[in-house]
Structure 1
C-alpha cells in the first residue's frame, strides 16, 4: 500500500490490518454523526457526503489542511471508503496532508482519526470539488 510505505519512510510505525475497514467506517459515523436519526435520511454513497447534509462546524480545503497539520497526530488510524484495510500509525506527528492526497482506486477516499475518534481528516476522491475536510468534536 503506497501510503503505508510513504509514512514508514518518514519514520512512522505503521501496522496494517485487513478486514477491519467496515468496523472503522461504522465507528466513524457513530462518533461524528451520533445525533443523526438515519431513518429519516437517505444513506449517502460516501461517508464524507454527510458533511454536506448536516450543520456541523467542519473546515474545508486549505483550512482543513492547516488544521490537520497542527493537530496532535501521535497515534492515529487511517482507513478507506472502499477498502477493508486499516492502518494504525504511531509517531505520526510528521504526517502531512500531501502524504495522503495521491491515493487511487479503493484507497482514494481516505479517513484519518485519532485513537479516541475526537477529530477526523478526510480526503475524498473528488479533491478538486470537495474537501478535504477536518472536524473536531
Structure 2
C-alpha cells in the first residue's frame, strides 16, 4: 500500500548505487557535532535517530515536524532505513506528505543537498523528527 500510494501521486522510486557513500554523508552531515563517545552513550549505532530522541541535536518534533516537512520542496529526496544498506531516490515527489510514511519504521528521508532530514521512528512516543541545517 505504501509504495502504491506514492506511485499514485506520480512519485518515481529508484534504487541508488552509491548507498554506502550516501549513508556516510548522512552521518557526517546530520551528526557532525556528535562525538564518538556520545554516539556510544546514546546507542547511535542501534538507531541514528537517537541524536534527536536524546536531544543531542536540536530539531522539530511531532506535529511541528510533520507540518514543516509537508511544506518543504520535495522534488527529489533520498530514503534510507535503519540497518539497511539500500538507498532509494524518490523523484517527482512534491505531493508527498508526512502521513505517507506513517506505516514505515525507522525511515530517514533527506534532500539531495543534505539540508534537512525527516525521521519516522518505530516508537510512537519518539518523533517524528525534522532537522534542518542552518
TM-score after normalising by structure 1:
0.83
What is the CA-CA distance between 1:98 and the residue it aligns to?
1.2
Unmatched 5+ residue regions in structure 1? none
Between the two proteins, the alignment pairs up a number of residues equal to 130
What is the CA-CA distance between 1:102 and the residue it aligns to?
0.5
Q: Residue 107 of structure 2 corresponds to which residue in structure 1?
A: 110
Q: Does 1:87 align with 2:84?
A: no
Q: Deviations over 1:93-114 (max 9, x none)?
A: 10011111112xxxx2100000
Q: Does 1:123 align with 2:120?
A: yes
Relative to structure 1, the CA distance from residue 51 to residue 11 in structure 2 (aligned partners, 3 Å threshold; closer, same or farther) is same
TM-score after normalising by structure 2:
0.85
Relative to structure 1, the CA distance from residue 95 to residue 40 in structure 2 (aligned partners, 3 Å threshold; closer, same or farther) is closer
Unmatched 5+ residue regions in structure 2? none
What RMSD over aligned residues (CA atoms) do the two structures have, in Å? 2.0
Relative to structure 1, the CA distance from residue 17 to residue 6 in structure 2 (aligned partners, 3 Å threshold; closer, same or farther) is farther
SS at match of 2:58: coil
